[in-house]
C-alpha cells in the first residue's frame, strides 16, 4: 500500500472508506481488520490478518524483498522475534566495552539479507559499500544470510524516522527498565501501539529548500541518490 493508517479505532464508517476488495474510486481508502502486528518504522512492519478465510501475514522491510532476509524462516516472524527480544532488554544496560571505555549501544536489530550487489552500490559514497567493492561483491550476489560476511540491514529502534518522534517525558513508551527489585518493566511499545508526535522541522523558518536534481534528468544520479537516501533513512530509523 502507498499510504495506510493502523489504529485501534474503527474507521469503516468514515466517508470514502470501503471494505477491502470492494468497489472503490480514486481517493477512497480500503478498510480491513487486522489481528495484530509489530510496527517499527514507516515501511518496516509485520501485521497479521485473515484474507478469504485464511491467515495471512504482510511483512515490509523497506527497500528489500522480505524473501531475501531469510531462507528458512518467515520474515515476519523473524522481524517480530528480533525486535521484541531487543526491545525487552533494559535500556540502560545496552553497552559494550570499547578501547577501555563503556559505550552505550542503541536499540537496533541487524537483519542479514541476500541481495544482488550492483556496481553502483559498490562504488557509492558509503564506507560499507567501498568494503563491498574491496571484497569483490560488485556484480555478484552477496553471501548467504547465515554467512559471517552476510550483508546487514540495520534498523535503529530508538528513532521513528524523520517525520515522527517520541513524546518527551514518556520514555516508558519505548524504554524497558529494571526496577530496584530486579524486575523488568517492558516498554509499552512491546505490547501496544504508542502515541508519537510530528518531528520539528530542522530548517529555520523561512529558509528555502535545498536544490534537488530530479532523477529523470540524470538516471545514474537518481539511482545513487535513492540508494544513499534509503540507507540513511534506515540508519536514522525511518
> Contact, 122 vs 138, CB < 8 A?
yes
Residue 5: inside a domain = no
- Of 104-113, 125-134, 203-212, the one with minimum mean pLDDT is 125-134
pLDDT at 133: 61
pLDDT at 135: 65
State phi, psi for 208 to the nearest 5 degrees.
Answer: -75, 150
What confidence tier does 1 reach under pLDDT thresholds 50, 70, 90?
Answer: very low
Residue 234 DSSP SS3: helix
Residue 17: inside a domain = no
Residue 87: inside a domain = yes
**Is pLDDT larger for residue 27 or for residue 100?**
27
pLDDT at 173: 93
- Of 62-66, 77-81, 83-87, 228-232, the one with minimum mean pLDDT is 228-232
Tally the domains of the chain: 1
Its domain, for residue 179, covers 34-235
Which range scores top for mean pLDDT: 36-40, 59-63, 166-170?
166-170
Residue 110: inside a domain = yes
The CA distance from 169 to 184, in Å, is 19
pLDDT at 159: 83
> Contact, 87 vs 109, CB < 8 A?
no
Residue 3: inside a domain = no
Residue 137: inside a domain = yes
- Please determine, for residue 232, whether its predicted confidence score (pLDDT) is greater than 70: no
- Give the HSE-up count for residue 159: Cα atoms under 13 Å, Cβ half-sphere: 15
Residue % of the chain over a pLDDT of 70: 67
pLDDT at 213: 61
**How confident is the model over 117-141, as pLDDT tens digits?**
666 665 654 555 566 666 666 666 7
Q: Considering the chain, what is the average pLDDT of its residues? A: 76
For the stretch 82-85, contacts whose Cβ atoms lie closer than 8 Å and that sit 24 or more positions apart, written own/partner, are 82/109, 82/111, 83/38, 83/40, 83/109, 83/155, 83/157, 84/38, 84/190
What confidence tier does 35 reach under pLDDT thresholds 50, 70, 90?
Answer: confident
Q: What is the mean pLDDT of residues 161-183?
A: 89
- Please determine, for residue 56, whether its predicted confidence score (pLDDT) is greater than 70: yes
Residue % of the chain over a pLDDT of 90: 6
**Per-residue exposure over 51-83, b if at least 16 CB sit within 10 Å of its own CB, e if not:** eeeeeebbbbbbbbebebbbeeeebbebbbebb
pLDDT at 170: 94
- Please determine, for residue 188, whether its predicted confidence score (pLDDT) is greater than 90: yes
Residue 78: inside a domain = yes
Q: What is the mean pLDDT of residues 215-221?
A: 58
- Of 44-53, 185-194, 202-211, the one with minimum mean pLDDT is 202-211
Residue 13: inside a domain = no
- Of 18-27, 85-94, 140-149, the one with minimum mean pLDDT is 140-149
| Cell numbers describing residue 223 | 539511482
Amino acid at each position: 500500500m502507498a499510504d495506510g493508517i493502523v489504529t485501534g479505532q474503527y474507521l469503516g464508517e468514515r466517508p470514502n472508506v470501503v471494505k477491502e476488495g470492494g468497489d472503490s474510486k480514486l481517493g477512497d481508502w480500503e478498510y480491513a481488520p487486522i489481528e495484530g502486528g509489530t510496527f517499527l518504522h514507516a515501511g518496516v512492519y509485520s501485521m497479521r490478518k485473515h484474507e478469504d478465510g485464511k491467515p495471512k501475514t504482510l511483512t515490509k522491510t523497506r527497500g528489500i524483498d522480505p524473501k531475501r532476509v531469510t531462507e528458512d524462516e518467515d520474515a515476519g516472524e523473524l522481524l517480530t522475534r528480533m525486535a521484541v527480544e531487543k526491545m525487552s532488554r533494559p535500556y540502560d544496560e545496552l553497552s559494550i566495552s570499547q578501547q577501555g571505555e563503556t559505550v552505550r549501544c542503541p536499540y537496533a536489530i541487524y537483519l542479514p539479507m541476500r541481495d544482488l550487489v550492483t556496481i553502483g552500490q559498490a562504488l557509492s559514497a558509503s564506507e560499507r559499500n567501498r568494503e563491498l567493492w574491496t571484497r569483490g561483491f560488485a556484480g555478484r550476489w552477496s553471501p548467504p544470510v547465515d554467512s559471517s560476511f552476510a550483508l546487514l540491514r540495520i534498523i535503529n529502534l530508538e528513532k521513528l524516522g524523520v517525520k515522527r518522534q517520541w513524546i518527551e517525558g514518556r520514555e516508558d513508551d519505548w524504554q524497558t527498565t529494571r526496577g530496584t527489585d530486579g524486575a523488568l518493566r517492558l516498554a509499552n511499545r512491546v505490547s501496544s501501539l504508542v502515541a508519537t508526535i510530528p518531528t520539528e522541522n530542522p530548517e529555520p523558518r523561512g529558509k528555502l529548500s535545498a536544490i534537488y536534481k530530479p532523477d529523470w534528468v540524470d538516471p545514474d544520479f537518481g539511482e545513487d541518490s535513492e540508494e544513499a537516501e534509503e540507507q540513511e533513512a534506515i540508519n536514522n530509523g525511518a
